[in-house]
Amino acid sequence: MAETTQYTEDNIRSLDWKEHIRMRPGMYIGKLGDGSSPDDGIYILVKEVLDNCIDEFVMGAGKTIEISIQGNKVIVRDYGRGIPLGKVVDVVSKMNTGGKYDTKAFKKSVGLNGVGTKAVNALSTYFRVESTRDGKSKSAEFETGNLTNEEHLDETTRRRGTKVTFIPDETIFKHYKYRHEYVAKMLKNYVYLNPGLTIVFNGEKYYSENGLKDLLEDGTNVEDMLYPIIHLRGNDIEIALTHSKTQYSEEYHSFVNGQNTTQGGTHLAAFRESIVKTIRDFFGKNYDASDIRKSIIGAISIKVMEPVFESQTKTKLGSTDMGGGLPTVRTYINDFVGTQLDNFLHKNPETTEKIQRKILQAERERKELSGIRKLAKERAKKASLHNKKLRDCRVHLGDLKKDRRLETTLFITEGDSASGSITKSRDVNTQAVFSLRGKPLNSYGMSKKVVYENEEFNLLQAALNIEESLADLRYNNIVIATDADVDGMHIRLLLITFFLQFFPELIKEGHLYILQTPLFRVRNKKETIYCYSEQEKRDAIEKLSGKPEITRFKGLGEISPDEFKHFIGDDIRLDPVMLDKAVSIEEMLQFYMGKNTPNRQEFIIENLKVELDVVEEN
């Protein structure tokens, strides 16, 4: 029997605050990523700094926040009270230090644990904090959490407030890039939830007068709304809701103390429950909950004393109490919705009639599809048992904690060779593979019935668990992985059409991506460089000098599993699929999959032009 490894005092190690954050960043900011996903770490860093600015505004100090992102450098400036000058260094570099522990100073704040800015500091190659108050300023600079420069108190005429500058560490956030669309969406949420607040981002102003009503209007084409948005406000609660004319599943936006709880929690569960109860009571009918909530688009924001979240990134509320002598979260929301929504329905018979017609339509469709849905679920269950289409990850096989759902990815592939390479090279803990058989059906203009009747769509829907709501979405990232040729582009369009037609909220909420794989491999005896464009290939040839070996990849199946590990691991490159609010979903579907074949062909050819040129050159 082999001798057991020695375990002595020498094996015990104590990490200081910055070492621990850098070694286990996921504990503090969730997943890392490269900026292609809205919940990637580089955006969490921005959010952590902004949360402190928002807390100042909530406490009545400072109505304007300025943010600048140029390249990888982020600057955030508020006009709040400013950090107490004697504690500027401590607040950003000592754990368990901050003003949020004093509920007199911050009653219903977003940041609670005094961790946020420390994490930003530790995970940045450059971090600078400057506080101005009472005509004096104090600043300090850090590198990966280590203090490099501390300036003494200076007299100043600058307005009070706090200014933070940082550059995320590229050794932790590899190949990262800030996508301004994601930053803009984050900032819009802040102003929707804080009437009177102005945020200036790279010179553009964001301001909202109508709160959650503006949020729904900004995210949904007005022509797609069944009736004008119902918008109700209380002391510590605000809700907005409507039904979509075309969307099939439910879509929700939820917030606690200004924090976007993307994974919901006790408040969202109570909101969904209270809508059903109120509408049943109003009509005196025991409508099925799924019929009431089908196609609903809603938003809820509540304010809670000392909320408990299920992680440092605060994406899911765990609190059951409102605090401050108020009832439970569930009771509070049920009482508010039960009273205010009921009053609204009595006063607005035209909206009420449309809601009832929508419910009855959903009921008819559900009953018509009941037999098909039952058979479809049985087929999906049987297929899962035999592992024919889906090779799942350990998060969903019960081997890992469910709270790692943010890290999960489903690759949708076509063909045995491509799916085989990805399956062999994936991270089995968090990455799953769904194999298509041939090209998917063009679902443009079809009803939801086709999702259950078509084996590919039925099994894909079951794998994602999105039949009724995104609340139980099994994979945070859905990645279309097809070849970079005309056939691959066509498969992408067919899959995007499926999601636009039946589950557009998946795209709205930033869950759908296109996998980018390298076109070339350039190598010599010492180094291998993978290139995603002709320019990258030229740069690689120049770097390696001489006459390096150049290989052009024609398809995913030609890339070995050993090589694929590079492309779906830390160095993964994803292009998010985004919706343009200026164009309705119907218009997009009509363009991509309607009877305008010449226009569509021109679009495909133009989007493939660079890749085709590369192929012809070689």
Distance of CA 21 to the CA centre of its chain: 22
Q: What is the pLDDT of residue 106?
A: 43
Mean pLDDT of 285-293: 93
pLDDT over 90 percentage in the chain: 32
Q: pLDDT digit string (tens) for 420-468?
A: 788 888 888 889 999 888 788 888 878 888 888 888 888 888 889 887 7
Residue 15 binned pLDDT confidence (cut-offs 50, 70, 90): low
Structure-block tokens of residue 394: 């350990």
Average pLDDT score over the chain? 82
3-state secondary structure 303-325: CCCCCCECCCCCCCECCCECCCC
As a whole number of angstroms, the distance between CA 329 and CA 320 comes to 5
User: Which residues in the chain are classed under CATH 3.30.565.10?
Assistant: 17-206
Q: What is the pLDDT of residue 442?
A: 84
- pLDDT at residue 243 tops 90: yes
Mean pLDDT of 298-319: 77
Of the candidates 252, 238, 254, the one whose C-alpha atom is nearest the C-alpha of residue 195 is 238
Q: What is the pLDDT of residue 104?
A: 45
* Entry field: residues in the chain: 618
- φ, ψ at 468 (rounded to 5°): -115, -35
Residue 274 near residue 241 (C-beta atoms within 8 A) = no
Q: Which amino acid is at 218?
A: D
- pLDDT at residue 478 tops 60: yes
Beta-sheet strands, E only, within 392-458: 409-414, 431-436
As a whole number of angstroms, the distance between CA 50 and CA 117 comes to 10
Residue 475 near residue 464 (C-beta atoms within 8 A) = yes
What CATH homologous superfamily does 17-206 map to? Histidine kinase-like ATPase, C-terminal domain (3.30.565.10)
As a whole number of angstroms, the distance between CA 331 and CA 329 comes to 6
As a whole number of angstroms, the distance between CA 298 and CA 215 comes to 10
As a whole number of angstroms, the distance between CA 475 and CA 262 comes to 13
Q: pLDDT digit string (tens) for 188-216?
A: 999 999 888 999 999 999 999 999 999 99
β-bridge pairing 146-155 and 390-391: unpaired
Could you name the CATH architecture of 212-366? 2-Layer Sandwich (3.30)
Which CATH number is 387-517+553-617's, of 3.40.30.10, 3.40.50.670, 3.90.550.10, 3.40.50.720? 3.40.50.670
- pLDDT at residue 187 tops 90: yes
The residue that leads in pLDDT, 563 or 550, is 550
- Hey, how many other C-beta atoms are within 10 angstroms of the C-beta on 365? 16
Model pTM? 0.78
User: Which residues in the chain are classed under CATH 3.30.230.10?
Assistant: 212-366
The residue that leads in pLDDT, 464 or 595, is 464
β-bridge pairing 251-256 and 296-302: parallel
- pLDDT at residue 380 tops 80: no
User: Which residues in the chain are classed under CATH 3.40.50.670?
Assistant: 387-517+553-617
Give percent helix, percent strand, percent coil of the chain, each to the nearest 5: 40, 20, 35
Q: What is the pLDDT of residue 389?
A: 79
